Structure 1
Amino acid sequence: MASGRKFFVGGNWKMNGDRDSIGALVQVLNDGEFNPAETEVVVSPPMVYVGLVQQSLRPEITVAVQNCYAAAKGAFTGEISPQMALDVGATWAILGHSERRNVFGESDELIARKVGFALQSGVKVIACIGEQLEHREAGQTAEVLYAQMAALFKTEPLELSAWSNIVIAYEPVWAIGTGKTATPEQAQEVHHQLREWLAANVSVQVAAETRIIYGGSVNANNCRELAKQADIDGFLVGGASLKPDFITIINAQS
């Protein structure tokens, strides 16, 4: 990319799949053509399948967990630690996803602790932020996103070096799984605003180097126009990552 930021495409499989369907999807990914030098690809299966996917997937594609807690071990029923993720071959974690915030009630403070601990533990983070439809309609998108960014990265202050292990995923909540997508111009405007926030609140270098990806009903039909935008460095893909069309999305900027 002209920006020097390597294109990044993540596939969030959410709570979907079984051995047969995941095996077929892995085969599609193993057979699919893309240039790993130009695009970084990460997929995130349900936790019970992470080890299976990591062992059977081509090495150019890495694996993420969909969540991890802010502790290495302990009495936290139902949770996993970053250390466990690493133990089964996952090197990334998706944290702060709108479904964790809005379905499971995770607070900014909890998400910040999880992000900080994952990074300290050696797990890279796809950190998700996004506004609700009412915020968008009230013209409060930037205000909401800046508050989420501030909470994530000031609650747990990060060393500047940690930013090389973070990807910011902007996911407008009103566009997730709804079939609605921000226009390329709307998405670019928000991504540019987020980059300006990073420059003002972290550093100009971090703003220039941090990848900011878009998520929200990305598909094979809209990915190329989105990928043309200067500040959109890739995608976090939900439903479309479960289909062969995911290969088209991976190649959106080529």
Structure 2
Amino acid sequence: MTALSYAVSDSMTMLRRNLRRMRRYPSMTAILIGMPLVFLLLFVYVFGGTLGAGLDGPVLATGAAGRAAYVEYVLPGIIVLTLATAAQGVAITVAMDMTEGIIARFRTMAISRASVLTGHVVGSVIQALLGVAVILGVGMLIGFRPTATPVEWLGTLGLLTLIGLALTWLTVALGMVSGSVETASNLPMPLILLPFFGSGFVPTESLPTGLRWFAEYQPFTPIIETLRGLLTGSPIGNSGYAAVAWCVGLTLAGYLWARVAYQRLPNR
């Protein structure tokens, strides 16, 4: 077998390990999905009528109004929030492996070093996509009606995978440098808050000037706008290019950071 074959085989082993952990501890998955689900129901049923009445432009072009319009508007932001909470989960699991010494044990074994982190990343992306499927299903039950074509659904899946990879590599690095599980659970919090300070819940035009500038230039806004366009048919403009660029950049930064942090671990 070649070095690449060994790396792929070891990565699949580590992926199975993480999938088994997910199956044995379903409460973690439930918590990661539960928070975005609560926000979806809260914003739609408590604030949706008022916020939906203030929407105009592309969202209302679908014919929806009021709470129905707000469901169409807010769901892409909730999807990104779901991906961010799933990424927080991988930071916790990586920190658990670090503090319990299992990663130090893996480093003494004849396995590909890359496989240890790759198994965490791929497992987390799968968990995140399952969470997105649940959110989409609940969204459709409460009135979300996507207009995406088959090609747009493929584009949505590709973008969701890119977002998952970007956030997961970043939080893997955060989990490795945390030092404790408690710290690892807190460090990714800005990723969970950013959708609220973008176009996830209200249009950026409604924000005060300083906050609007931040919302328009932070990474989650073009990502949310691209998802919204793919799912509901609203104009995407240059958001698609910006979303892919942010995802690729964050993935590369997170991967390099995690790789350096892993290589700096002391040999035992």
TM-score interval (norm. to shorter): under 0.3
Which structure's residues are more often helix, by fraction? Answer: 2
Larger Cα-atom Rg = 2
Which structure's residues are more often strand, by fraction? Answer: 1
Q: Highest relative contact order (Cα 8 Å, sep 6+), 1 or 2?
A: 2
TM-score (norm: length of structure 2): 0.21
